[in-house]
Each structure stands twice: as structure tokens, then as C-alpha cells.
Amino acid sequence: MPTTARSSLFANHNFTLLFGGSTISAIGDQFTLVALPWLVLKLTGDPAALGLVLAAMALPRALFMLIGGAVVDRMSPRRVLLGARAVNALLVSLLAVLVLAGAIQMWTVYALALGIGLSTAFAYPAGSAILPQLIPPQQLQPANALFMGTRQLSMIVGPAIAGLLISVGAHGSHGNGVADAAGLGLAFGIDAVSFLFSLGSLLLIRIHSDHHPKAPVGSVLANVASGIRNIWADLPLRAFILYAAVVSVFVGGPIQVGLPVLADTRLDLGAASLGILMTANGGGMLLGSVLSGVATKLVRGRLGLMVLGIDSLAGLALATLALVHSTFAGAMLLACTGVLAGIAQIAIISWIQHRVAPEMMGRTMSVLMFAFMGLGPLAAAIAGSLLKVASLATLFTAAGLTLSAIALACMTSPALRSIGAARPGAAPA
């Protein structure tokens, strides 16, 4: 990002507060992303249980994310985000206390996962809708790049530290038989503390909708329906969201379960291996985000073909995970897939933000996030069950080759091939 754009953004006090709080919270989130699957595997040793926990988080998130987007479009996204993150902080704090006290049981893990999933159904669309109210439209592109780059940087720093922390804190088990309990509890505690910085920044921020609330038009469900109609009327946008949903179901779920199981059963560093794998993927995504602008210019409006080509290559890399038996080899493969994902992610988000009217942004982003984040963990529950009858190698091979096959088949779709053009007109709310 040019220095002038960066300095101009940080001259905005509200943007600086949001960026600082979100950055610290994003790093903290990585600790839970490593610790939670590791906790489930240490409690049960069962990949199917891990899949069910991920599904418990995904189900309320999937059911309520569209409602969350409509609520954000009706009121202040800052207040919605503040409430959602406060609930998340409370739940993660409770998780840390139970683990450290040796009182954690699987039923409490399922209950807390449900609560976290419900709160994130409102946090995700609120987080995507608050930025346009803080800065002028011409600064949205550099601001989004800065936020996305920081999130990817947190994926480099957070998982590696979390994995090492859990490994170093492994002092046997507590009374309930949980191995690595000390390190796991500390990891959850760090995430809980990081939420305090985000909450503090949100309390200090003021945005337009705080003082000029929108007059509600129709019911929340009617607003959800109008958002879906708006997306359905936009053929390229509709095609991409349907494509993202298919990819998430057939690929995202198996990967969410497969990586922790890979680290636990094949690799030599335990939780540290999982952290290194996630860090390598985050590092690749950071590099990909830097390269995204150049790649987008090179394809000259053929964004859809670029994304489909990237996905076909990423599928082959994921299938190769079936052959991995060392942390280094797995990290190299995930770094490569991260580069490809970073290029595609920045390009697609920027295309959508320029295409969709601001008053529809919360609902549109909630549908997109539903496709990416709501369906994948549901598929993870199925993947966890499949590991009882199929090998890990079969899971990775099937997931990767399915992604490549879907991407190649979709290259014949005129709607997906046309992605990259600006929308001729904004739809009314």
C-alpha cells in the first residue's frame, strides 16, 4: 500500500481505534483456533467428535448469519459488533477457566461452541459493514487490504505461538484426563484478554449510524428476503456465491478436520505441528494478498477465470497432503495454497464491495460468509464421521481432487467467467 494512503487512513482516529483493537483480537483468535480442536482430540481422541464441535459452532452461525446481516443493515454495526464480541469474550473466558480447573467436559464444549457460533453470526456481518461508515469510499480499497493483510499476519504469528504454548504447557493431565490442559487453558485465556482490547476500541469509536439510526423498513425477515432477491438478480454474484458454497461443503469441511488429525497422528511435534501448518498457510495468504493487485491487473477483467484456475491448482496441492509425513512438507504445501487463496480472496472481496450498493452490504456479506463459513463446519461433521471408515489419505485426496474437478467444470459457466466487470447499477434496498 502506498505510504500516503496508509498515513491518510491512520490520521482518522476512529479507523486507528478499530484497526488496533481488531488486530490484537485477530491474533488472540488464532490461539482458540489451534486450542479448540486440540482440546477435543485430547478429550476424546475421536475425529468425529471434532467434526461435531465444528458443526455445533456452524449451525447457529449458518441459521442466524442472514438475520445478523439484516440486523446490521437496520442499526449501528458498531453496537452489534460490540455486543457480539462481548459475548465471545465471556464464552472463551469460561472455556479457559473450565480447562484450567480440570472441570471441562464434552457437553460444555458443545454448549460453548453453540454460543460462540451464535455470536459470530452477528459479528461477521457487523465487522464488514462498519468500515464504510468510518472512511470515505476512495479509501475502502487500501483499508480492506490493510485489514486483510493484518489478519493474515495474525495467522503467521498466532498459530505458531499457540502451538508452542500448548506443547510447553503440557504437564500431563488434570483430574478429568485432559492432556496439555495447562497450555490449552492459557491459550484460551490469551484469546479472552485480546477481546478486551477490541471491546475498548469499539467503546471509543463513534460512527454515523450511532447518532442517525436508520428507520426500519419492514421486518427483519423481509429485509433478509430483499437481500437474497438482490443477490439472485445479479447473475455473476449469484453464481459465485453458489460456487463458494459447493467448494466449502466438499473441501472446507474435510480440511478443518483433517489438519488437526494429521498433526496428531502423523507429524512429530504435536500441537506445535498444527500451529506451524496454520502459520505457513497464513504466511502464504499474506504473500498472496501482496501479489493480488498485480495478478488482477494481469488477467484484465477475467477475474472469474483466474479464481477458477487458482482453485484447480489449490486442489492438487491439497490432494498431495495425503502423502505428507513431516511438518516441513506439510507447511510448504499449505504455504503454496495460502498464496493462491490470498490472491483470490482480495480480488473477490474488492470486486463485491465495488459491485454492491452500501445499503445492501451487510446482507450481501452475510450471505457470502454463510457460503464460506456456515457450511464448511457442517461438512466437517460428516468428514469426521468418514474418518472412522476411510483413511486420512483418502480424505485429503478426495477433497483436493474434488476441488480441482469442480473448478475445471465451472470454467464452462458464462456467469463465472464474466466475474470481474463492475455492476451497471446499484439495486435499491
Mean pLDDT by 10 residues, the chain (429 residues): 60 86 87 86 82 80 80 81 91 91 88 90 82 76 76 76 74 54 85 91 78 63 81 88 83 78 81 80 80 78 86 88 88 88 80 75 76 69 76 86 90 84 44
pLDDT at residue 64 in the model: 84
How far lies 421's CA from each of 140, 237, 323, 418, in Å? 18, 11, 40, 7
Give SS3 for 398: helix
pLDDT in tens, 163-219: 777 777 655 444 445 667 788 888 899 999 999 998 998 899 877 666 655 655 667
pLDDT at residue 173 in the model: 46
pLDDT at residue 368 in the model: 79
pLDDT at residue 174 in the model: 46
pLDDT at residue 91 in the model: 93
pLDDT at residue 151 in the model: 78
Domain borders along the chain are 14-206+222-417
C-beta of residue 213 within 8 angstroms of C-beta of residue 86:
no
How far lies 28's CA from each of 21, 24, 148, 412, in Å? 11, 6, 16, 42
For the chain, how are helix, strand and coil distributed in percent, rounded to 5?
85, 0, 15
pLDDT at residue 178 in the model: 66
Locate 171 and state its grid cell.
504437564
pLDDT in tens, 349-398: 778 777 877 677 777 877 877 777 666 666 777 777 777 788 888 888 88
DSSP single-letter state for residue 54? H
In 115-152, which positions are buried (b, 16+ CB within 10 angstroms) versus exposed (e)? bbbbbbbbbbbbbbbbbbbbbeeebbbbbbbbbbbbbb
C-beta of residue 270 within 8 angstroms of C-beta of residue 37:
no
Fold of 14-206+222-417: Growth Hormone; Chain: A; (1.20.1250)
Locate 215 and state its grid cell.
428507520
Q: In the predicted model, what is the mean pLDDT of the chain? A: 80
pLDDT at residue 211 in the model: 61
